[in-house]
Structure 1
Amino acid sequence: MTLEKFEKLPKELIKRFLYTIILLLIVRVSIFIPIPGVDNLSFYKNLENNTVFNFVNNVVAGGARTIGIGTFGISPYFNATLSIQAIIKILPEWERLQKEEGEIGRKILVQRTRYITFIWALVQSALLVYWIRPYVFNWNASFIVDTMLTLTTGAILVMWIAELISEYGIGNGASFLVMVNIVTGFTKMITLSLQTNDLSNLGPKIFFSSILFILMILISIFISEGKRKVKILSSRQLGTTSLINSRSYLPLKLNAATIIPLVISSLLITLPSYIINKISNSWLISILYIIIPGQPLYLFAYYALVVVFNSFYISLLVNPSDIAENLTKLGVVIPGIRPGAQTKSYLESILNRLGFISATLLCLIGIVPYSIEAIFKLPLFKGLSVTSLLIFVGVATEIAKQVRTYLLSQSYNVNIEKE
């Protein structure tokens, strides 16, 4: 965006941009304010080759390298959100708040999410304090309490900033913070890759790598925005010419499970590499070895995990029985499908196909960075996971839609005032 176009934006939108940037800077600074008493240099050097540590470090974009106030970032809030979604499926009272209580129920669930975020922050801080014990200069009760309170306070601060961005800034605050972390980590990785390679022969490699990267972006957009439109008809339209001309449809998202199955699968697939270094059983090591990165069954194991968790999470988020029941109550049918059990089975088959297609596409773009490294010997995009790419595309699309909607509403208000 040029300076002239930026100046033509409404003042309110410019304020929102600036407000978001200031809050993002506060979060980024908090990550690198170290907690006293920890040998951060030794901590990072000893864990640099730890696959689980590197996965966590990529999510928080370097925050795990320094045990600082904002080390956890937005992760306790995301854990709390996942916990709320699981509890809603288990407890009917919480499900009623979500489905029947409207805005009041939503506010209650938001407040409970904050409480659970606090609990997750305490649990994560306790685990981290125990983990960094070998790198602490003076391990005592005072250090444990102070560090846990500091990390928990930092997590609550980030959650509050995320809510402020959602309300007064641009886009969804929590997703925006993750996207900024991903972009920061990705730029560091590209810089390091260019510094460690011979620049004289990089031209063709970068050109073809960029084409593959653009392909990854296009597939990611398709996954994020793709929908399966199931045509529906109301009882009034049956037996009329509207049966042919009806434009009403039930939208089913191609990637209804979003990034959660990917995050879980990406974490689980890194565990074998970590466990191999901790066990001495040769039989178990030989089994785990065939599914670590670089081995023949690694991609198959990753693909299987994504498919399984994708299907499982879709079943939690989208309930065909509820959809079929609601369609019946509204007097709406799917052409050629009987209401009730047949509609439920039909929707289940569509969701299963969509889940399989989305999981396959996710794995397809997941192997591109490794293919670039294997073919061109250039680890340019190796640090860019499918999870990171989908988050980036999803947040960028959401921000673009929000800005477009805001500009249209402003234009609409100006036209009304002129009239």
Structure 2
Amino acid sequence: MTNEGFEQLPKELIKRFTYTIILLLIVRTTIFIPIPGVDNLSFFQNLEKNTVFNFVNNIIGGGARTLGIGAFGISPYFNATLSVQAVIKLLPEWERLQKEEGELGKRILIQRTRYITFMWALAQSLIVVYWIRPYVFNWNATFVLDTVLTLTTGSVLTMWIAELISEYGIGNGSSFLVMVNIVTGFSKTIPTIFQNGNIETLGVRAFALIVLFLIMILISIFISEGKRKIKILSSRQLGTTSIVNSRSYLPLKLNAATIIPIVISSLLIALPSYVVERSSNIMIKNLFYIVIPGQPLYLFAYYSLVVLLNSFYTNLLINPNDIAENLSKLGVVIPGIRPGSQTNLYLKAILNRLGFISATLLCFIGIFPYVVGAVLQFPLFKGLSITSLLIFVGVATEIAKQVRTYLLSQSYSTTLEES
């Protein structure tokens, strides 16, 4: 390969990285352009201790605190994507578009996702505009209309930028935006880790921080990239040998449901604290008090939510019956398992076990920082939830794979041109 070939590769990648950074700067700018007519200081002071608000705000990038025109960030698009995935499993027509219509069906589903994004943004804008009413200087019909249009437009703009990043930049646009928001929010919390305590313990704090971060990163990578490889044989191989020596296998991801269960679980487990804080009914307070952080049933409730939602979304996203049918059509079998219903049951059992293992690991690294922090008597990773960490690791891994694949394809193209 000539020097010119090496010079061309970085230029294309630099162009993509530059394009991505410019678009990210535009998105970050919209987050912090405040909506006029709102007392942002009072709004921030009253909601600073709201656990649900802070969790959502951390994911969308801090825009909710300033009520910027891009306050929702990528959340309406994220909600629309989840909605489409659920509808595909419920409506045969949508499922047919995904499985049988090829590229045309994919474009139709993408367009429908955009329409649903608009509806989610509109609904969220209406909720927010009434929620912030106590903090508005002059709340009237004009303010409501202007604010709803502004927030909805900001969400649609963010969706468009996310698609541009996916097509012309680096990585998946929506995931990349979420990762940038999380990194930005986490960078603000690092100084708080060392605020309290004596200067003599600073070295211990720094060492514990590094070790804990590395452990969580390694476990997160294992959860994101772990696979169960099931050996498979074609009918031709079955006719020639009785020994399973094929390298062909069916990969099943350890965490097929990705971050969806942990995101929903984190939101649901934060609701009891909000109810206890806001409700004036003693019976309701006592009912929800037992599952707030620090209480005996909190960890059990959190673990149960993650396991149940992980199992639900794994079966929603991966259909063992479809896999069994496809293997049968291709003339492929799992050694020792009959085709058809037995293969379906076998795959379903494996998926359930993988879901249980991944849910247990998710909960472990979710509570691990708080246990270590309690033992060492100082907070660790305040503001960095397991949700954030998984998103960060997943997106970083995806970007690294995409860059490596792109470089490899360009190298092959250059070699073919020279030959």
Q: TM-score range by the shorter chain?
A: over 0.9
Residues 1:177 and 2:177 aligned together? yes
CA distance in 2, matches of 1:377, 1:21: 39
TM-score, scaled relative to structure 2: 0.96
SS in 1 for 2:279: coil
Look up the match of 1:3.
Answer: none
Question: Which residue is 2:360 aligned to?
Answer: 360
User: CA–CA distance in 2 between the matches of 1:154 and 1:242?
Assistant: 61
CA distance 1:149–1:205, change in 2 (3 Å): same
Contact in 2 for aligned 1:234/1:332 (Cα 8 Å):
yes
Equivalents in 1 of 2:386, 2:210: separation in Å?
Answer: 16
Q: Which amino acid is the alignment partner of residue 374 of structure 1? A: A
Task: Render the CA deviation track for 1:62-106: whole Å, top value 9, x for unaligned.
Answer: 111101111000000001001111111111111000000000000
Pairing of 1:326-365 with structure 2 (within 5 A): 326-365=326-365
- State the Cα distance separating 1:173 from its structure 2 match: 0.2
Distance 2:200 2:21 in 1: 37
Give how far 1:199 is off.
Answer: 4.0
Give the equivalent residue in structure 1 for 2:391: 391
CA-to-partner distance for each residue in 1:254-287, whole Å, 9 max, x for gaps? 0000000011000000000011123233333223
In the alignment, which residue of structure 2 is the partner of 1:118? Answer: 118
Equivalent residues of 2:74, 2:155 under 8 A apart: yes
1:13 equivalent to 2:26? Answer: no
- Residue 165 (str. 1) matches residue 183 (str. 2): no
Gaps of 5+ in 1: 1-5
Distance 1:251 1:403 in 2: 23
Deviates most, 114-123 or 47-56: 47-56
Query: Percent identity of the aligned residues?
Result: 76
Give the letter aligned to residue 339 of structure 2.
Answer: P
- Distance in 1 (alpha carbons) for counterparts of 2:93 and 2:338: 32
1:109 aligns to what?
109
Amino acid at match of 1:300: F
The 8 Å contact of residues 272 and 288 in structure 1, kept in 2 or not, is answered as: yes
Amino acid at match of 1:150: T
- Give distance in 2, aligned partners of 1:356 and 1:312: 11
Structure 2 CA distance for partners of 1:197 and 1:151, relative to 1, 3 Å: farther
2:29 maps to 1:65: no
Cross-structure match for 2:405: 405
The AA in structure 2 aligned to 1:62 is G
Contact 2:193 2:381 (C-alpha < 8 Å) held by counterparts: no
Give the secondary-structure state (helix, strand or coil) at the position aligned to 1:35. coil
Q: Which residue of 2 aligns with 1:302?
A: 302
Greater displacement, 377-386 / 14-23: 377-386
The reply on whether 1:268 has 2:268 as its aligned counterpart is yes
Letter in 1 for 2:13: L
Give the CA deviation at 1:196: 4.7
Q: Is the 8 A contact 1:129 1:148 kept in 2?
A: yes
Deviations for 1:103-149, whole angstroms, at most 9, x for unmatched residues? 00000000000000000000000000000000000000000000000
Partner of 1:97: 97
Q: Which residue of 2 aligns with 1:147?
A: 147
Partner Cα distance (1:403, 1:115) in 2 = 31
> How far did residue 380 of structure 1 move?
2.9
SS in 1 for 2:250: strand
Contact 1:209 1:372 (8 Å CA) reproduced? no
Kindly provide the CA deviation profile for residues 138-164 of structure 1, in whole angstroms up to 9, marking residues without a partner as x.
000000000000000000000000000
Q: What is residue 52 of structure 2 aligned with on the other side?
A: 52
Q: Does 1:41 align with 2:66?
A: no
Amino acid at match of 2:309: F
Aligned length in residues: 414
* Counterpart Cα distance in 2 of 1:287 and 1:29: 43
CA distance in 2, matches of 1:163, 1:180: 16
Partner residue in 1 for 2:3:
none
CA contact (8 A) 1:189 1:380 kept: no
Q: Distance in 1 between matches of 2:60 and 2:369?
A: 20
- SS across alignment from 2:34: coil
Conservation of the 8 A alpha-carbon contact between 1:224 and 1:394: yes
